[in-house]
Amino acid sequence: MQAMVQISRLNKSFGAHHVLQDINLDIEAEKVTCVIGPSGSGKSTMLRCINRLETPNSGTITVDGELIGYEREGANLRELSTRRIAQQRARMGMVFQRFNLFPHLTVLQNVIEAPIQVRKMAKAQAEADAMRLLGQVGLTQKASAYPSELSGGQMQRVAIARALAMKPQLILFDEPTSALDPELVGEVLEVMRELATTGITMVVVTHEISFARDIGDRLVFMADGQIVETGEPKEMLANPIQARTKEFLSRIK
Amino acid sequence: MAVQEPAEPMLLPPRHHWRAVAAVAVSVVLAAFVASLAGNPNMQWDVVGNYLFSGQILDGLANTIILTILCMAIAIVLGIIIAIMAMSGNPVLYWVAQAYIWFFRGVPLLVQLVFWFNLALLWPRIGLSLPFTDIDYTISTNVLITSFVASVLGLALHEAAYMAEIVRAGLLGVDSGQSEAGRSLGMSDGQLLRRIILPQAMRIIVPPTGNEVISMLKATSLVAFIAGGDLMTAVQNVYSHNFRVMPLLIVASIWYLIVTTLATFLQFYLEKRVGQGFSSVASRSKRA
């Protein structure tokens, strides 16, 4: 199986706090990888290193074989220009915990913004694509609404459509349902469930264990900046091997 | 025998004895002041009427409006550039921006105006000339820096320092999640600034900028000191000949009040426009 993302010896510190400690992880293409773990374990930071919203202190990340953020210069790595990094980011989608829709733009404008600006797509084409994607997340009716007129669940579905509009190779979800009222979680998970069937590579940092069990192809458990255990979700949730995993799962059940 | 229903009591507002007293006292003082002003023969209201629409005054008024618009336009563009420099990772740009703000905010506007007006004392000729060659495109400073040009330079460069601070506050006021979302979609720094950050920062920038426009309208009167040709210059020219100082100051005040009032309406309209997507009802429901 080919790895879409390869993380190798990744380290990240915020001041004296060593958030990621020598992380090694391969993320398979066309699979759903779920990352769970207590808050502060480094899950989100690892995700944000993949599209370089965070700059690692050391280690390398490749996406589809391409080194992220650097180019080789002899034996060393030279950091890429912000323009080149932007081009690399355009190939990965990201969905944020707090949605981060553009509040001054309508739903449709949110979705077509990057295809037009970054991909230089014609407006008519971008709008046609956007309407199809809004149909996919069930929000065709809201195309001309502003984000402030939507519920949290609707905003997150727009954010997913916005990420998909760039036709990314993989899509990173950073706790997509953590900021939602409980009754709105289901509609977002449903959209993600359908997305998983399209064969796009998904990395999902989540607290939704049932989603990880039902939809995930692989489960990663992180604690204290390290990957403690990985495995097939159903098997790992039923019979965790590591004591740290057992303890975490027993607390959230 | 029918029982008499007790009448429903009427609800009365509290009594405000002192409110009435204060209102009467202030009204009396105000009325006395207005009466003494209106009936004052030294006010010479006929002179006010004669000059309010005179060509000389209207020319000055036009110059005041042109100066305000031109200087604010320059100051806004320059302010955005300086604000971006002040926020950039480049230490040289950062320090140049800080020094600019420090200097132009720290030196009084009148001093700056007189400085620009007398620039020829420092550099008699301005332009491009390369040593050891025939290239010499220079012009006499006194020809280039007219009192109008000195006025524009003084007002605009001074104002840009304030605009830079206003723009910087606006840019910092946009949620950091917005740039993360833009970056995650592959937008370049320039696209991010133009399409995502600045439009949202405008909501924060417009109200204080409206105040700056009104300040600028009034600050233009300082250019009378270097004969900048504004409304105040025109008024001064008139009363230095006929000595009708008070009525002409009233003429100036009437026009300044009219223009600042119009600017206030414009500010209100602009604030509504840039607030699109941020209605107060909507922002409340978002927080919930």
Whether A114 sits inside 8 A of B186 (CB atoms) is yes
Give the 3-state secondary structure of residue B89: coil
Whether A90 sits inside 8 A of B188 (CB atoms) is no
Whether B277 sits inside 8 A of A105 (CB atoms) is yes
pLDDT per position as a tens digit, A84-125: 999 999 999 999 999 999 999 999 999 999 999 999 999 999
Instruction: Identify from A54, A80, A94, A148 which residue to disrupt to test chain B contact, counting B C-beta atoms within 10 A and taking the largest count.
Output: A148
pLDDT per position as a tens digit, A30-52: 999 999 999 989 999 999 999 99
Q: By the CB < 8 Å criterion, does A91 face chain B?
A: yes
* φ, ψ (nearest 5 deg) of residue B194: -70, -45
- Residue A3's alpha-carbon distances to A15, A202, B145, B151, in angstroms, are 32, 12, 68, 66
Instruction: Identify from A117, A156, A160 which residue to disrupt to test chain B contact, counting B C-beta atoms within 10 A and taking the largest count.
Output: A117
Structure confidence at residue B193 (pLDDT): 93
Chain A residues with CB under 8 Å of B189 CB are 82
B123 vs A23, higher pLDDT: A23
pLDDT per position as a tens digit, B125-135: 888 778 777 77
CB neighbourhood size of B64 (10 A): 27
How do strand A218-223 and strand A66-67 relate by DSSP bridges? Answer: unpaired
For chain B, give every domain's residue range.
69-229
Structure confidence at residue B285 (pLDDT): 40
Let me know if B171 is exposed, middle or buried by CB neighbors in 10 A (0-12, 13-18, 19+). buried
Structure confidence at residue A210 (pLDDT): 92
Distance of alpha carbon B212 from its chain centroid, rounded? Answer: 3
Residues of chain B with pLDDT under 50: 280-288
Q: Measuring CA to CA, which residue among A181, A177, A162, A165 is closest to residue A210?
A: A177
pLDDT per position as a tens digit, A178-204: 999 999 999 999 999 999 999 999 999
Chain A residues with CB under 8 Å of B283 CB are 148
Chain B residues with CB under 8 Å of A83 CB are 188
Q: Is the dihedral of CA B34, B37, B39, B43 positive or negative?
A: negative
Structure confidence at residue B280 (pLDDT): 46
Distance (Å) from the alpha carbon of B214 to chain A's nearest alpha carbon: 27
Structure confidence at residue B279 (pLDDT): 58
Chain A residues with CB under 8 Å of B195 CB are 113, 117
HSE (side-chain half, CA atoms, 13 Å) at B80? 15
Instruction: Identify from B88, B183, B184 which residue to disrupt to test chain A contact, counting A C-beta atoms within 10 A and taking the largest count.
Output: B184
HSE (side-chain half, CA atoms, 13 Å) at B29? 5
Chain B residues with CB under 8 Å of A88 CB are 186
- B113: CB partners within 8 A, 6+ apart: B150, B151, B154, B155, B222, B223, B225, B226, B228
CATH number of B69-229: 1.10.3720.10
Whether A118 sits inside 8 A of B276 (CB atoms) is no
Residue B155 tokens, joined: 């007002």
For chain A, give every domain's residue range.
107-167
Question: Cα separation of B259 and B256, whole Å?
Answer: 5
Q: Measuring CA to CA, which residue among A227, A231, A223 is closest to residue A247?
A: A223
Question: Cα separation of A202 and A210, whole Å?
Answer: 16
Distance (Å) from the alpha carbon of A123 to chain B's nearest alpha carbon: 16
Structure confidence at residue A1 (pLDDT): 57
Chain B residues with CB under 8 Å of A169 CB are none
Distance (Å) from the alpha carbon of A253 to chain B's nearest alpha carbon: 28
Residue B184 tokens, joined: 């995650």
